Amino acid sequence: MRPPKSRLADLRELRGDDLAPVLEAQAAHWRTHFAWDLRPVIGAVRRMLDKRLLAGRALLVSGLARGYSYFMPEGRKAVVGDLFVWGPDKDGRLRRRLFESTLNTACLQRGVERIEGQLLCLQKLPLTRPALGGTLRSFSRMLMLKDGLDRLLAEPRARSGLQLCPWSDRLAEDASELIALAYRGHVDSRINDLYGSVAGARRLLAQTTHHTASVRFFAPAAIVAREPGASALRGMCLGSLVGEEVGHVTQLCVAPLARGRGLGSELLRRSLAALARAGCEAASLTVTESNAGAVQLYERIGFRSIASFPAFVWQRSQ
């Protein structure tokens, strides 16, 4: 028996109702596998589809939508927001076709020289040949989850010798400088180029500390550290809400001069305790697998890996 015919189409040919079964399956997948409530994202995707504003590709099988992927142009860069295929795809052929088509469509956009993405619904990046050549690199990342946050409330806290303060928007510039300093030469600055400069970190921080379709910034779980009497920040942990009872650690970084003093674990524990006080029973975070020190820290605090997924970067040849 021949497999059903499939084709790829411009995502703007579809409307929210056309993708409704796929989006509902995606929300169920995220809830079951990642503990995230994706319904706000699904609502935003449907509204953008109805307005023909979402650039990307749709996978149609026997005329019906089975998958989609979208990207967002950001000047000289495009960011692939997500990719999902509903139903059987044992050899990954449908996911590979959809990813390759999305990547090639994005790299053909005028002025785009770099494409980034992190795709939680894939275990590894499909073998792909970009239409315009260039360099395509993949980095393995993990989604980690910690249950039983309430137990953190009774645990003793380490003493780093630093002053810990609640987050304030007035700290945004100092926090941007901290991020750029902490990630200088770090693998994550190759995955997301916003980590590579103060200006980029400023944009990243603005995205993190404002509500988006997928996360709600939770200020009580945002904590910074500084030397007593000094203005420069030495560490920071930011938390968000991704479900009714699930939090997410969106940022944890420590300045090089302050490392080795237990500051990272202290900031993380306090942020998780704030999430617990808000009624969260679990919290998630993502980390690059090659960042062994961070992985070990999270494991000591009780996080466990629940999924591996690829981050990728395509760079146009010079």
Looking at residue 230, what is its pLDDT? Answer: 79
Instruction: Examine the pLDDT at 21 and tell me if it is beyond 70.
Output: yes
Give the pLDDT mean for 7-20: 96
Looking at residue 100, what is its pLDDT? Answer: 94
Whether CATH 3.30.830.10 fits 144-309: no
Spatial CA neighbour of 232 closest among 199, 217, 210, 254:
254
Looking at residue 189, what is its pLDDT? Answer: 95
CA 88 to chain centre: 25
Q: What is 6-133's CATH topology?
A: Aminopeptidase (3.40.630)
Tell me the domain boundaries of the chain. 6-133, 144-309
What's the DSSP call for residue 181? Answer: H
pLDDT digits (tens, 9 = 90+) for 97-115: 999 999 999 999 999 999 9
Alpha helices in 86-159 (DSSP H): 93-107
Looking at residue 156, what is its pLDDT? Answer: 47
Yes or no: say if 267 and 235 are a contact pair by the CB < 8 Å rule: yes
Looking at residue 306, what is its pLDDT? Answer: 96
Spatial CA neighbour of 251 closest among 159, 162, 183:
183
Looking at residue 241, what is its pLDDT? Answer: 95
pLDDT band at 22 (very low <50, low <70, confident <90, very high): very high
Instruction: Examine the pLDDT at 253 and tell me if it is beyond 70.
Output: yes
Return the H-helix or E-strand segment holding 301.
Answer: helix 292-301
Q: Are 6-133 and 144-309 in the same CATH fold?
A: yes
User: Which two structure tokens, joined as six digits, stand for 313?
Assistant: 């970067």
